[in-house]
Amino acid sequence: MADFIQPRTLKGFRDLSPDQAYRRANLVRALEDVFRSHGYAPIDTPAMEYAEILKGKGGETSDKELFEWTDKGGREVALRFDLTVPLARYVAEHQGKLTFPFRRYHMGPVWRGERPQRGRFREFWQCDADIIGPETATADAEILVLMIDAYAALDVGSVTIRVNDRRVLTGMLDKLGVLDAAVPVLRALDKREKLGDEVSRLEIAEVEGLTESAADRILDLTRKRANDDETLAVLKDAVGDNERGLAGIETLERARELVAAAGKPASSLVIDPGIARGLDYYTGIVLEAQLDALPDIGSVGSGGRYDDLAGLYTKSRLPGVGCSVGIDRLLAALDELEAGGRGAAPAVLVTNPGDERLPEAFRFAAALRAAGISCEVFPDTAKHKAQMRYADKRGIPYVVTPDEGGTFFLKRLSDGATRTCASGADAVGWIAS
């Protein structure tokens, strides 16, 4: 007996079923339409970069999670862990050929060697949109409006964009006299929802120069309040006259004003001082998207401002701000919610009527596709009942059987409705209606 290799996937990687892949393709298409409607153009960058391009850009955690190795040419290389760092490299390298402000979108897989868990994978897709050039609250508001429009187009239910500004957090820490501890404190705050207040409090308290009472104060100040006005009042008091903190609050207020001017519902955007984002390159506004029907699955999108990232590759000042829609996290959430339904099946199965009438089946299938109706022809001459069972199992809504004399017998499987049409054109019309 032959020894077979056990079919299996690597931990943290997964196959997508036809229905899952179909849903992802539809989500990506919808996002492309939204991004283009806002004036963003596509680019693409390699999945693999020189390791020095990626390392040290997101922080200690992202460096630990890099898939990196020495290639056959002796070069130190790594797989991209996000699409933002490659964008910064791209604009630094090609800035002489670009027109600024530069708006781009990019969709593709990224890789992180993190611990797989619910809704979190080692290979996953990101769908990013960024604007490089303007260092203004106007650009921040543009990204927020774009993100709200993106989730509305995806039709995945209510999504809340939770927004903060890193300068508010650092201004608050400066006012408390612990600015030097900003990086580890922000990382601890980023883990707050995943690990809980107590773990974050202990982690903050372990930072040199901080006490448990200081940790309690930080956690209290970064707690969400009843409404945005109350939250902003607490933050203004916390930063006092700190210029950095006040600049962050001013950006949040202006962005909120412009989002409202764009006609977006107030409920779609919430100021949340606990949002810190774990990547070190963020310098201003930061945001996370929450699927309201399943908030505990984690962020289904994120983003923020990164004014200094491209400066690691060029002397030019190339500030940026952007957002990323987490397609795979959304798909995992839809699976849990049993939402999104099936979709990979065509609208019509044209049964195989036997060799003599098979050309009629192919002609009718071509007419359906010309009318924009997806279909397939059953590939062999199985019994009619077997072909009907196949359509039912695939979730195909309509079955059409070419009959003798040029007529067509139609059946709608959802309710069993039937119809005999005298011509292919009549059959197409009935299905289209």
- For residue 109, the SS3 value is strand
Helix, strand, or coil (residue 278): coil
Sign of CA dihedral 359, 364, 369, 375: negative
Classify 348-432 by CATH class: alpha beta
CA proximity to 161, closest of 300, 260, 279: 300
- Which strands make up the sheet holding 301-306, listed edge to edge? 41-42, 102-111, 123-132, 320-325, 301-306, 285-291, 159-165, 269-271
The reported pLDDT for the residue numbered 316 is: 96
- Angstrom distance (rounded) from CA 400 to CA 373: 13
Residue 341: the pLDDT is: 61
b/e code 142-152 from CB counts within 10 Å (16+ = b): bbbbbbbbbbb
66: how many CB neighbours lie within 10 A of its CB? Answer: 18
Among residues 305, 253, 252, the alpha carbon closest in space to that of 277 is found at: 305
DSSP string covering 383-416: -HHHHHHHHHHHT-SEEEEE-GGG-EEEEETTT-
Kindly give, in sequence order, each residue whose CB lies less than 8 Å from that of residue 235, ignoring residues fewer than 6 positions away. Answer: 168, 172, 221, 245, 249, 273
DSSP classification of residue 418: E
For residue 262, give the DSSP letter. T
Helices (H), strands (E): how many in the chain?
A: 16, 16
Whole-number pLDDT of residue 199:
78
Q: Are strands 348-350 and 375-377 parallel, antiparallel or unpaired?
A: parallel
What is the predicted pLDDT for the residue at 1? 59
Residue 340: the pLDDT is: 63
Residues of the chain with CATH 3.30.930.10: 18-337
pLDDT tens, N- to C-terminus, the chain (433 residues)? 578 999 999 999 999 999 889 999 999 999 999 999 999 999 999 999 999 999 998 888 889 999 999 999 999 999 999 999 999 999 999 999 999 999 999 999 999 998 888 878 999 999 999 999 999 999 999 999 999 999 999 988 999 999 999 999 888 888 878 788 788 888 888 778 777 778 778 778 888 777 777 788 888 888 878 899 999 999 999 899 999 999 999 999 999 999 999 999 988 999 999 898 877 899 999 999 999 999 888 899 999 999 999 999 999 999 999 999 999 999 888 888 877 666 778 999 999 999 888 999 999 999 999 999 999 999 999 999 999 999 999 999 999 999 888 899 999 998 999 999 999 899 999 898 8
> Which residue spans of the chain are classified as CATH 3.40.50.800?
348-432
Query: Cis omega (within 30 of 0) on the bond before 101?
Result: yes
| Token representation of residue 163 | 């927004």
DSSP annotation string for 128-179: EEEEES--SHHHHHHHHHHHHHHHHHHT-S-EEEEEEEHHHHHHHHHHTT-G
Q: Which of 130, 134, 164 shows the shortest CA–CA distance to 147?
A: 130
Instruction: Find out whether 405 and 357 touch, Cβ atoms under 8 Å.
Output: no
Identify which of 278, 292, 170 has the alpha carbon closest to the alpha carbon of residue 222. 170
d(CA 32, CA 41): 9
From CA 27, how far away is CA 29, in angstroms rounded? 5
| Its pTM surpasses 0.75 | yes
CATH of region 18-337: 3.30.930.10
Question: How far is Cα of residue 21 from the mean position of the Cα atoms in its chain?
Answer: 15
H helix or E strand, kind and range, residue 248: helix 243-261
How high is the pLDDT of residue 98? Answer: 97
Give the residues across from 103 on adjacent strands. 131
